[in-house]
Structure 1
Amino acid sequence: MNQFATRMLAIGLAGCACAPALAAEDSPFSANVAVTSDYRFRGVSQSAKDPALQGGVDYAHPSGLYLGAWGSTIDFEGFDDDANLEVDLYGGYKWSGAGVDWDVGLLHYAYPGSDSDNDLPFTEIYFGGTYGPVFAKYYYTNDYTGPTDEAAYYLTAGANFELGGGYSLGISLGQSAGDGVDESFGDSYVDYKLGVSKEFAGFGFNLAYVDTDIDPEIEDDVFNSEGTVVLTVSKVF
C-alpha cells in the first residue's frame, strides 16, 4: 500500500464515535463529554496517538425522531495541518418492531478549517437494528472522503454483555469496502474492538483493545493503525 493510499485510508475512517447519549429523565435534551487516550475510529488514530477531547449534544423527540452534534479534536499533521477539529451532525428516526430496535438516519462529517483540496467532508446514510445484546449497522456514502467520487460502505456488527458487578463487555467487528475504498487504497479492510466498561462515581470508564487488518500497518503516529489499548472516560448530563 503506497503512502497516499495509507493516508486516504485513515481519512476515510475518520468519523464520529457517536453513540447518542442517553437523555436525562423527562428531558429530550442530553449532553456528553469525554476524554480518550487516543481517538480511534474504525481502527485508525485520528489524534496522532495523543489524547483527544470530545463532546456532543442530543435531542430525542418522543416520536422517535432525533438530532445531534458531536465533535472531537484531531491531528492530521503532515496531511492537512489546518484540520484540527471534526464535527459530526446527524439526525434520524428510531422505532421498535418485531422485537428489534431500529435506527435510520443521515450523518455528515465536517472538518472546519481543513484544506478544501483534500475534500475531507462527506455524508453517510445509515440503517441498523439491535436485538437483545446484538446489533448491526450499515453506512453508505455515494462520494467517499478525499479526492474520489466513488461510493463506499461500512458494515459493523457486535454485541454488549452484562458481566455482573456493574461491568459490561462490548465486542464489534466492521468492514469498509466499495469502489471509493478500493480507489483510495486498493482493498477493503476490517477493524475490530474488544472493551470492558463500568461506571464509577457518575463517570463512565471504557478500556478497549482496537486493531485492524491493514497490511502493512501504519506505524507513524498520524493515522496509526497498529493494535492498541484505549482508555476513555465520559460523563453524560
Structure 2
Amino acid sequence: MKRPALRSWLCAVLAFPAAAASAQEEAQPALSATVTLASEYTWRSISFSRRDPSLQTSVDYIRPAGKGLNLEAGAWLYSSKYEERPQISFDTGGYVGLNGPLADGWQWALRTMQSRYPQAKDWTYVEHSVHLSREADEARGSLGVELAYAYSPHAFGSGSRGRYLEAGLSMQLPAGLTLSLHAGRSLFSRPEQTYRNFNDWKLALAGQWQGFDIEAGWIVASHAAQFGRMGRPRAVLAVGRTF
C-alpha cells in the first residue's frame, strides 16, 4: 500500500520515489512505471492474494514545486485473491503527496492515499500519513531510517478509526546489497469491526541484477490466528523493474 517498486511488502525499504530525491540536486519532473512479480501480495504482513503469486504495476510522477519541495502522485494495480478458489481480481489505489528536505540528509513527506478492493468493495478507504526518512550513507557509516504515522478515519470502510506506526532501519552492504529491518503497529478503535490490534515485522535483503530490483524477506505478524494461514510467518520474494 510505503519507491513504488515492490510496494506491496517492501514499502519501508523502497519508500516512494520522491522521498529519496537528493536535496542538493535541482529535481526535474519525472514519470516512472514499475512492473513487479511477487510471491504474494501482502499488506502489513497479511496476504491479500491467499499466498499466491501477484502481478503488480504502478505509475509514479514527481514534480518540483520550488524551495526544495516536490509534488508527487501515483497509482497502482495489484492482482489479489480473497477466497479459496475465486476469480482473480485487481486491487487499485492512488496517492498524492508533498515532500521536502530537512537538515543532515533527512526528508519529510505528507501523503494521502486511497485503496480500492473490487472483491470487497466495502473495504475501500482513505489513509493520511506523515513520514521522516534518511538514506543510509556507507561513507559516513550511518544507517537509513524510516519513520511514519498513518491515520484512516474509516479503516477498511468500517466505522473503526485506524492508525499505523512504522519504524525501519536499513544498512548498506558490500556488492550493492541493502539489509533492512521493519516494525509496524496497527491500531483500530473498534477491533470488532476490523481486526485486533497487531504488530508486523519484516527482515529483508535487497539488491539489483541486470536492471531488476530483487528483494527476499521474512515477515511475521502478531495475533496471526485472526488471519488464518494468511498471517503465518513466511518467506517472501519480489522481482521488479522500473522504466
TM-score interval, smaller chain: 0.7 to 0.9
Match of 1:156 among 138, 142, 166: 166
Please give the secondary structure, in 2, of the residue aligned with 1:49. Answer: coil
Percentage identity across paired residues of the two chains: 26
Aligned residues: 214
Q: TM-score, normalised by structure 2?
A: 0.80
User: Counterpart of 2:76?
Assistant: 70
Structure 2 vs 1, CA of residues 93 and 185 (structure 1 numbering), >3 Å: closer, same or farther?
Answer: closer
Please give the secondary structure, in 2, of the residue aligned with 1:69. Answer: strand
1:88 aligns with 2:96: no
Mapped partners of 2:195, 2:129: distance in 1: 24
In the TM superposition, what is the alpha-carbon distance from 1:208 to its structure 2 partner? Answer: 0.3
Conserved? CA contact 2:160–2:193, under 8 Å = no
1:53-87 deviation per Cα after TM superposition (whole angstroms, max 9, x unaligned):
001001100220011001100001169x5772111
User: Counterpart of 1:174?
Assistant: 184
User: Counterpart of 2:139?
Assistant: none
Conserved? CA contact 1:60–1:67, under 8 Å = yes
More helix per residue: 2
Mapped partners of 1:102, 1:34: distance in 2: 26
Name which structure has the greater RCO, CA cutoff 8 Å, separation 6+.
1
Mapped partners of 1:235, 1:171: distance in 2: 22
1:203 aligns with 2:209: no
1:137-190 deviation per Cα after TM superposition (whole angstroms, max 9, x unaligned):
1110111114x312110111101110111111011000000304x233563100
Mapped partners of 2:239, 2:49: distance in 1: 16
User: Counterpart of 2:130?
Assistant: 127
1:59-116 deviation per Cα after TM superposition (whole angstroms, max 9, x unaligned):
100220011001100001169x57721111100001012332001010000123x354
Structure 2 vs 1, CA of residues 65 and 185 (structure 1 numbering), >3 Å: closer, same or farther?
Answer: closer
Structure 2 vs 1, CA of residues 176 and 83 (structure 1 numbering), >3 Å: closer, same or farther?
Answer: farther
Mapped partners of 1:225, 1:82: distance in 2: 21
User: Counterpart of 1:7?
Assistant: none
In the TM superposition, what is the alpha-carbon distance from 1:27 to its structure 2 partner? Answer: 5.1
Q: Which consecutive unaligned segments of at least 5 residues does structure 2 have?
A: 1-6, 21-26, 136-143
Report the aligned-residue RMSD.
2.5
1:115-147 deviation per Cα after TM superposition (whole angstroms, max 9, x unaligned):
54xx1100000001113401111110111114x
Letter in 1 for 2:54: A
Conserved? CA contact 2:165–2:184, under 8 Å = yes
Runs of 4+ in 1 over 4 A off after TM superposition: 15-18
Q: TM-score, normalised by structure 1?
A: 0.82
Mapped partners of 1:204, 1:33: distance in 2: 10
Q: Which consecutive unaligned segments of at least 5 residues does structure 1 have?
A: 1-14
